[in-house]
Amino acid sequence: MSRKKVFEAQIEYLQILDEKGNVDASLDPKLDELTLKKMYETMVRSRAMDKKAISLQRQGRCYTYVPTEGQEAAQVGSVMASKKEDWMVPAFRENAAYLAKGVSMRTLFLYWMGHEEGSRFEKDQNCFPVSIPVGSQVGHAVGLAWAAKIQGKRQAAITFFGDGASSEGDFHESANFAGVFQIPCVFICQNNQYAISTPRARQTRSETIAQKAIAYGFEGIQVDGNDVLAMYVATKKALEKGYAGKGPTLIEAITYRIAAHTTSDDPKRYRDEAEVEAWRKKDPIARFQTYLKKNGFWNEAYEKEVQEKAAREVEEAVKKAEGFQANPEDMFKYLYQDLTPDLRQQMQEMKQSLEG
């Protein structure tokens, strides 16, 4: 019997900004003030929106909500590394990614309030709607990126999914396909340590999620997902590789879901408060604030201005979303290109009942 060595693997771990806000100067992308502030403000806006949405849900003014808290850097850093034309294909926890793509808070609140209108984006925003079936969006992203490649466009897709989704067939089928056809798709697994109550240790026996890419013939790396600069740098590199025809990348963003899985979950039943507190110390926003301060871009007056502006934006967005006049026909309109006879009849019945 003979054996051949197939591969030896090492997984890169990228961190630029540590938990105390110290930066590795050799890796610092040295972004301009405007970009850095946009990163910070987008994360703050997402956090403000989270807080409001949870409160609205408790008051019965919003349906089940999926909080982003703790994962802002993983989303904002990566989306801000992309071009406007690149696709952003989310799961359901990507409010910060949407905001970074330029989607309005009004649209996001409309989604969480149950309106079809909340899944309608500006044509050039290149965002896909929220995808609730775990992992299902990953194949869509690969398809979009494949289309871009066939059309010879310098365009890629970024798709977000969780550690739980990395156990779904959709992820594996998509990763295999993307590897074979060298598709410019950046797979961003936000390893937030839990899939509802299932901890990371029960999700996979693999030492890292990043290494799953190796089986499909492309690179997988781990990144400190609470480090917005590292997420920016890693995604930029992956996108450039994709545009150059060199295929996909899997980024495992190591992060933590600080809040509950959704507003209908009670995480106290399956995780320790001490664990949450330890991760709070790694907060992506506080850490980035320290970096901005050291660079002379942050002071108390700026903070006040950013917080007040975010609070105003939230209030105005809620007002607009609550004032939205929904057309009940929308429920039917976007299911199929052409309504099935059954649905057409149901829509007719609904109209008659609404007309009294």
Ligand X SMILES: Cc1ncc(C[n+]2csc(CCOP(=O)(O)OP(=O)(O)O)c2C)c(N)n1
Would you name the residues annotated as active-site residues?
A: 257, 261, 270
Which of helix, strand or coil describes residue 114? Answer: coil
End-to-end CA, the chain: 80
Phi, psi of 316 (to 5 degrees): -65, -40
Residue 57 makes contact with ligand X by CB under 6 A: no
Q: From residue 154 to residue 183, what is the string marking binding to ligand X with x (rule CB under 6 A)?
A: -------xxxxx------------------
Report d(CA 155, CA 83) in Å as an integer: 8
Report d(CA 118, CA 164) in Å as an integer: 25
Residue 260 makes contact with ligand X by CB under 6 A: no
Q: Nearest CA to 242 among 141, 171, 162? A: 141
Binding part of the chain for ligand X, among 50-58, 190-198, 210-218, 244-252 by CB under 6 A, reads 190-198
User: Taking the complex as a whole, how short is the minimal distance between the CB of residue 165 and ligand X, in angstroms?
Assistant: 4
Q: From residue 269 to residue 288, what is the string marking binding to ligand X with x (rule CB under 6 A)?
A: --------------------
Residue 132 makes contact with ligand X by CB under 6 A: yes
* Number of chain positions touching ligand X (CB under 6 A): 15
User: Taking the complex as a whole, how short is the minimal distance between the CB of residue 132 and ligand X, in angstroms?
Assistant: 5
Residue 250 makes contact with ligand X by CB under 6 A: no
Residue 254 makes contact with ligand X by CB under 6 A: no
Residue 129 makes contact with ligand X by CB under 6 A: no
Report d(CA 71, CA 188) in Å as an integer: 12
Residue 52 makes contact with ligand X by CB under 6 A: no
Return the residue of 140, 149, 241, 257 that touches ligand X, per CB under 6 A. Answer: 257
For strand 87-89 and strand 13-14, is the pairing parallel, antiparallel, or unpaired?
unpaired
DSSP state of 89: E
Q: Nearest CA to 200 among 266, 143, 253, 147? A: 253
Which residue number, 38 or 271, has a Cβ lying nearer to ligand X? 271
Residue nearest to ligand X (CB): 162
Nearest 5 degrees, angle CA 320-CA 45-CA 37? Answer: 130
Return the residue of 52, 93, 149, 212 that touches ligand X, per CB under 6 A. Answer: 93
> Hey, how many other C-beta atoms are within 10 angstroms of the C-beta on 167?
18
Residue 192 makes contact with ligand X by CB under 6 A: yes
Report d(CA 189, CA 166) in Å as an integer: 7
Positions in the binding site for ligand X (CB under 6 A): 93, 132-134, 161-165, 192, 194-196, 257, 261
